[in-house]
Structure 1
Amino acid sequence: MAAVRALVGSRLAAASAFASLSPGGRTPSQRAAIHLSAPHPAAKVALVLSGCGVYDGTEIHEASAILVHLSRGGAESESRNVLTESARIARGKITDLAKLSAANHDAAIFPGGFGAAKNLSTFAVDGKDCKVNKEVERVLKEFHQAGKPIGLCCIAPVLAAKVLRGVEVTVGHEQEEGGKWPYAGTAEAIKALGAKHFVKEVAEAHVDQKNKVVTTPAFMCEAALHHIHDGIGAMVRKVLELTGK
């Protein structure tokens, strides 16, 4: 797994990370072998992290659920990583996000957590006028231009909305509905960025077939953990399907 410290001006003083997930047999691993019953050869997926912890980094449940579903899909994680914070999730050596290349991966997935809105972008402060970390922007554009799928969950779809003009995403519902969707206002910001927002339930994922972008609400909804886990699973499955592996 790998990770990164990258800045956008002085505002973003902390970091992001990516964890490489590769198919069994391609790279050595210190972990146990992954499910051999996977229906297709596993894709090599980069998991982009933003630290550790929902309030200033990656939402740990989301990152863990993504890793579980990638494992279930046949992926095997390498023993390499990024920042010490992200290392709590991904473990391993520190590697700069600048080394992440679409040429070496079949897909990229971005978990949520406020780190996506604080460290990977300035969305938490600037809303629709936000800036995206330059390396994160590069990664999004590179995978998009290569026609390789990108998965994002929770607040992370704002990154795609900012960088990929006209992309289709979901952050769930567009009304708070008595507090069930406390961050529903994000949908309007996404529209203001020029993206298209689609209303989805927490256990669902939206697939933008044209742009190969897959999103799911995750913790944008006040829901039981297993429903959030199901939505992340739907997102991961669609990303893996779009790789064609």
Structure 2
Amino acid sequence: MERNDMKNIAVILAGCGVFDGSEINEVVLTLLHIEKNNAQYQCFAPDIEQYHTINHITGEEITQPRNVLVESARITRGNIKSLAELDVTQFDALIVPGGFGVAKNLSDFAINGTNAKVNEAVLSACKAFADAKKATGYMCIAPALLPFIYHKPQLTIGNDSDTAEALSTLGAEHVECKVNDIVIDKSNKLVTTPAYMLAQSIMDADAGIDKLVRNVLAMS
């Protein structure tokens, strides 16, 4: 139930499943910690076909087109809106969980690396929060979007050297970070955490996500 006295957080998803969509545990933990901190959320996803579909048992690609918005709705029990409906003025902050869908559906970073492009609707929504100087949080591989949104953002994806080098090439300042910690770019009101870029368990991921959510809310 929405309350006017609660902070309202937009959450952008990228599908359902770590290898071709949003990382499910990261999404659930994000939503849980938003509620635990007496805030509310609305999830969004672009209404587009996802890059491909992966069998999460075998890791093999399967010929089965899926829609990012429809797949994301699986995680949120149907409580989700098209990204086209996101109005930045109605929200206090933005959080983007990870999963390869961020680098395949919300952008093509997983395919094109430093030559990547971000989906126009995603870029517009994320830039709207940056331009409004509202707090944002990005986890796991989602910080790969940040060089396209902010000027020289300070961020972390953990300690993967190849990814860190690519983000540095794109103009980011990468900071190595443990799984249970966060990096705060105060000038941009931006918080990042490695989550499943490093996490070996849901408890590992939880510690950093908890800190990310609390700090995003504190800055919003």
TM-score range, shorter chain: 0.7 to 0.9
Specify whether residues 93 and 44 from structure 1 end up closer, same or farther in structure 2 by C-alpha distance, changes over 3 A only: closer
1:128-160 CA-to-partner distances (Å, cap 9, x unmatched) read 110001011111111011010111000000101
Question: Which residue does the alignment assign to 1:227?
Answer: 204
**Equivalent residues of 1:79, 1:92 under 8 A apart:** no
* Map of 1:155 onto structure 2: 141
Q: Structure 1 length as normaliser, TM-score?
A: 0.76
Q: Over the residues paired in the alignment, what is the CA RMSD in angstroms?
A: 2.0
Give the whole-Å Cα distance in 1 for the aligned partners of 2:166 and 2:191. 18
Instruction: Percent identity, please.
Output: 41
After TM superposition, give the deviation of residue 98 of structure 1 in Å. 1.8
Q: Closer, same or farther in 2 for the Cα pair 1:92/1:205, shift >3 Å?
A: same
Deviations 1:56-95 (A, max 9, x none): 0000000001011101111235699872211111133663
- In the alignment, which of 170, 180, 199 is matched to residue 193 of structure 1? 170
**Equivalent residue number for residue 25 of structure 1:** 3
Alignment of 1:23-102 (within 5 A): 24-26=2-4, 42-77=6-41, 83-92=69-78, 95-102=81-88
Query: Is residue 206–residue 214 contact of structure 1 (8 Å, CA) maintained in 2?
Result: yes
For residue 185 of structure 1, report the CA deviation from its aligned partner: 1.5
Please show how residues 112-191 of structure 1 align to structure 2 within 5 Å.
112-173=98-159, 183-191=160-168
Asked if the contact 2:179/2:195 (under 8 Å) is kept, the reply is yes
| Cα 1:130/1:226, change in 2 over 3 Å | same
- Residue 188 of structure 1 aligns to a residue whose secondary structure is helix
Distance 2:189 2:17 in 1: 28
Give the distance between the partners of 2:131 and 2:198, measured in 1 at CA. 31
- Closer, same or farther in 2 for the Cα pair 1:64/1:94, shift >3 Å? closer
Which range moved further: 203-212 or 183-192? 183-192
CA contact (8 A) 1:57 1:116 kept: yes
Q: Deviations over 1:169-196 (max 9, x none)?
A: 10112xxxxxxxxx44211111001011
CA distance in 2, matches of 1:94, 1:219: 23
Inter-CA distance 137–80: structure 2 relative to 1 (3 Å threshold): closer
Q: Number of aligned residue pairs: give it.
A: 198
Q: Which runs of 5+ in 2 are unaligned?
A: 48-68
Change (3 A) 1:220 1:213: same
Larger helix fraction of residues: 2
Residues 94 and 79 of structure 1: CA distance in aligned 2, closer, same or farther (over 3 Å): closer
Inter-partner Cα distance in structure 1 for 2:178 and 2:43: 35
In structure 1, the residue matched to 2:65 is: none
Q: Return the alpha-carbon distance in structure 2 between the equivalents of residues 95 and 51 of structure 1.
A: 13
The one-letter code of the counterpart of 2:27 is A
Find the counterpart in structure 1 of residue 215 from structure 2: 238
Q: Secondary structure at the match of 1:199?
A: coil
- Indicate the SS of the match to 2:157: strand
Q: Could you tell me which amino acid in structure 2 is paired with residue 220 of structure 1?
A: M
